[in-house]
Every structure is written in structure tokens, then in C-alpha cells.
Structure 1
Amino acid sequence: MLKIKNYVKAESLEQAYELNQKKSTCILGGMLWLKMSSRSFQTAVDLSGLGLDQIEETEEEFSIGAMVTLRQMEKHEGLNRFSDNAAAESVKSIVGVQFRNLATVGGSIFGRFGFSDVLTFFLALDTYVELYHGGIIPLEQFAKQPYDRDILIRLIVKKTKADCVYLSYRNTKTDFPVVTCAISSLDGKGCAVIGARPGRAQRIELPDAWREMITQEEGREKLAEQTAARMTFGSNMRASAQYREQLAKVLLKRGLKQFAEERSGN
């Protein structure tokens, strides 16, 4: 059972940050994972009154507030148009619409959960996080850092010319993913991201010749093998490390094929 003694609706980011410096304090996101834990907190801080629940689009970037819900992300026309609908694809299998109406982007990213479809997707783009104390840093750097007491304000997705494909494998529909996979081209440079390894999602840059390799079945298979070999996999109750590695190769191969077909107009 989750026990909270004091509830504070933050009036400013400064107040939220100062309160959060105590280990007995927690930041409330959508409260969907937090409420299932057996923990006690002296103070819970609610960020819902700070205007962090909007996706703003400019010519250069998307600014996605920490309190934006997964459903907002799923339905946002600009973000989906930019990502070839990979934004919606990455969250559509997360439980159900009611869940996605509450779960927040900030909670998913700050938690850096190994099973996070959201982290996998955003790592494939030119994405940065803005932290109250730590400032603006690349998401890839943030994803590798240990947990701290900072406050995540927003995600920043640069409108670097991008193409993107997202896939995942689940044992049953709406369950946690066994493996997640995102492949993208950013200004022509390819990258692949594999999540639910079961550790945090890992991003790998593809070789310069990747576009030529994916035009043929043999090349796609070779590139998938090479990419998976550069990643590490572990075991848990959902799958063994060996099974995850094989799944990753399959998803990479499928993603590369989809990528090649869509870009060739087939």
C-alpha cells in the first residue's frame, strides 16, 4: 500500500525542486506505477498546476511538457507526422486508453524503466531533456545517468530531418514488452534502439553504408546480426537473454525491411 502523509500542489518549479531534495518526498506523475508500490512518503508533490501538460510545436522543435499524457502524444498530429506515426505506434500497446489518459511522458522518461516503449522511441530521435537543476542535456546522456532528485521539465525533440520505424514484441497484448525496437534516419545517419533488454534502452549508430545494406535481404540480415551483437541482453521472468537477442534480430530485420520498402515507395 502507498502511504502519503502530506500532499503539496506545487506553485513553482523552484518549490517542487526544494521539496524534492528530501528523500522522504516523491514527485507525482500519473501515479500509475507509484500507486502499486508499498512505500511511505512524508510529502507528495503534484506538478499538474505548472503548465507542463502541453505539446508545443515550432519550426525548429517539439516541446513536450513532463505532464503531457501518453494519449496526448499518441493523438498529436504534428508529432506523428514528423515521426512517420512512430509516436502513436510506440504507445498504442501500453495497457489501454484509460491508462494512457493518465500516464505521463515525464514519468516514463524520468523513470528510465527498462520496459519503456516511450524511452525507446524518443532515443531514436534528436531528443533532449530539460531539467530544473541540470539544464538541457541529450536524452541519451540522461538515460545512462543514475537517479537523482532533479525535476524533469520537458522533452525537446529537434526537427532534424527524420524517418522512423517502431516495433515491439509482447507475449500478450497490452502486457509489458519483451523487446522494443526503434530505427531512425536523422539527416541520413542511421541508428537503432533496443529496449526491454530488460535493462534501459540502448542506442547504436548504424554504419555509413546502412542504406545500401537494407536494400537486399542478405544485407538486412547481416546488419541486424551486427547491431544485436553490439548490445547486451539479460534474463527475467518474461524471457531469457538468448531469446531476447533472437527477438531483437527479428525486429531489427523487420524494421529495416519496413524502412527500405516505405522509403522506396513500395
Structure 2
Amino acid sequence: MFTLLNVAQPDTLEAAYNILKEKRSNAVLGGCAYLRMGSQTIHTGVDLSKLGLKYSKDYGSYIEIGAMTSLRDVETNAAVNNYADGLLPKAVANIIGVQFRNVVTVGASVFMRYGFSDFLTALLALDTEVELVKGGRMTLAAFLDTPRSKDILTKIIIHKTKGHAAYQALRNSASDYPLLTVAVSQLDGEWKIAVGARPTRARLAVQAAALLRDGDNDMTAEVMEQAAQTAVGELSFGDNSRASAVYRQAVAKTLIKRAIAEVVACK
């Protein structure tokens, strides 16, 4: 259990950011679901609940989701369900339980770059941007490659490009964290393959996606097999208590092929 010495509830993002950077041990408080599993001491927890960051809005060409929105809100939102074959709701539906998903926030899930995050893997397969107080707006892929710094993620923006997407994951038990996650999409003719829980955070298999684009007019089982094999080769896999690297590689090949086949079937 973490130790919290003080709590601040600022009225503006500027004030929240200033409090956050005052001390190294200050931290943003989201739903605190994962924070509770740690043992750190936080001098001042910055509570964002007064900043109006709990919302999901459909602007026609894009969907905007505030950082304090829960994963349960994402799961039940009509606009999110109607986009990309319901990729995001499918990705979060098996995260532990409804009570847990009512607590976990979008901002924490993305900003903390959790390796086991189903949500992050699915977002990476979409045309997603993030917006931060200090860092400004950037693609999710670019954000994941930037060093961790003192900042506040305020929202994510999902551009609604036409196409289809599929999600696959494997767990040792229904309520456990995933031992591997896969999201595949074809949006506006561009393929994306995202693989997470390797056990490190999700990454795009760029070379594998290029093979799918080249073979788009003749998507045979051989092309899918080659893409899956290429993805396993270009991404790294590791060991932890849930699975070995070798097992993850084997699972990745199977889940990637399944997800590609699902997208092709939707077309």
C-alpha cells in the first residue's frame, strides 16, 4: 500500500502541473487502482477530479476521451462501440471485473505505459493521439517512445478512419492480467499490428504490417503466416511469472494470424 502525505485538488491544469513539479515525489492521482499495489511514499497527490476531464465526446471525424474517464465508461460508450468494430470495448471487457474498470482511468492507463495494458495495445492499432500539459499533442506511438517525465496527460484523440480492427489476448485465467495482447487494424488501407504484454509495453510491428499492405490483394494463409513470423522476429519477448519468452512468441504468432483473419473476414 502506498503512503500519501498530502492531497491537492487544483482548479486549473496549470496549477495542477505546478504542484506536480514542485517535488520529485509528487504524483497525479487517477483511480489509484494500480498505485495501491506499490509501496511508494507520495508527498502530494494531485487530484484532477475538479478539472472536467471525465468525458467522452464524438466530434464526427474523431472521438475525444478525457483522462479521468474510466475504462468502464469507454466500454459502454456508444460512439466508441460503433467505431472500428468495437475494438476498445472488446479490449477492456476482460480486465478483472466491472468494479475494477469503474476505477481505472484512461489517463493513468496510457501515461504509465503499463506493459500488461489491454487498452494501450488496442489504442496503438488505431489512429490515436495524446495531449499533455507540457508535451503538447503527439501520436501515441511517439509518446510511447519518449522518456518518462513530469507531465499530465489530459486526453486522448482517436481519429475515425474507415476500416476494421480485431483484438486478441490470452490469459491464464479470466481475471488475471494478460500474458500477451494483440490488436490488428486496417484503416484507410493502412495495416497496423500492435503486440503488448510481451511482458513490456505494446509496440507496433512495422515490418509485418508492410507485408500485409503488399499482399492486400491476395491475402492468403501464407501471407498471414509470413506477417506473423516477421512480427515475432522484429519484436522482443521476455519471461515473467505468467509465461516464458518462447511461449509468448508461439502465442503471438497464433493470435496475430487470428486477428488478421478476423479483419480480412470483416472486409
TM-score band by shorter chain is over 0.9
Match of residue 158 from structure 2: 157
Q: Is residue 105 of structure 1 aligned with residue 106 of structure 2?
A: yes
Match of residue 117 from structure 1: 118
- CA contact under 8 A between 1:163 and 1:184: conserved in structure 2? yes
Q: What are the within-5 Å matches in structure 2 for residues 74-223 of structure 1?
A: 74-205=75-206, 206-207=209-210, 208-214=213-219, 216-223=220-227
Give the C-alpha shift of residue 213 in structure 1: 4.7
Q: Is residue 8 of structure 1 aligned with residue 35 of structure 2?
A: no
In 2, distance between residues paired with 1:32 and 1:168? 21
Q: Deviations over 1:60-115 (max 9, x none)?
A: 21111000100010011111211201111100110100000110011100010111
Look up the equivalent residue of 1:41 and give its one-letter code: I
Match of residue 259 from structure 2: 255
Give the C-alpha shift of residue 34 in structure 1: 0.6
In 2, distance between residues paired with 1:147 and 1:94? 25
In 1, distance between residues paired with 2:15 and 2:218? 52
Match of residue 48 from structure 1: 49
- CA contact under 8 A between 1:17 and 1:151: conserved in structure 2? yes
**Structure 1 segments (4+ residues) deviating >4 Å:** none
In 2, distance between residues paired with 1:217 and 1:13? 50
Match of residue 241 from structure 2: 237
Q: Is residue 226 of structure 1 aligned with residue 230 of structure 2?
A: yes
In 1, distance between residues paired with 2:190 and 2:43? 47
**5+ residue gaps, structure 1:** none
- CA contact under 8 A between 2:164 and 2:266: conserved in structure 1? no
In 1, distance between residues paired with 2:37 and 2:183? 29
In 2, distance between residues paired with 1:20 and 1:204? 35
- CA contact under 8 A between 2:186 and 2:263: conserved in structure 1? no
Look up the equivalent residue of 2:241 and give its one-letter code: M
Q: Secondary structure at the match of 2:126?
A: coil
Which TM-score applies when normalising by structure 1? Answer: 0.95
In 2, distance between residues paired with 1:122 and 1:4? 31
Q: Secondary structure at the match of 1:221?
A: helix
Look up the equivalent residue of 1:258 and give its one-letter code: E
The number of residue pairs the alignment matches comes to 262
- CA contact under 8 A between 2:10 and 2:47: conserved in structure 1? yes
Look up the equivalent residue of 2:217 and give its one-letter code: E
Q: Secondary structure at the match of 1:38?
A: coil
Give the C-alpha shift of residue 256 in structure 1: 1.2
**5+ residue gaps, structure 2:** none
Q: CA RMSD in A?
A: 1.2
Q: Secondary structure at the match of 1:140?
A: helix
Q: Is residue 29 of structure 1 aligned with residue 30 of structure 2?
A: yes
In 2, distance between residues paired with 1:108 and 1:253? 27
Mean Cα deviation higher: 28-37 or 222-231: 222-231
Give the C-alpha shift of residue 220 in structure 1: 1.8
Give the C-alpha shift of residue 161 in structure 1: 1.8
Which TM-score applies when normalising by structure 2? Answer: 0.95
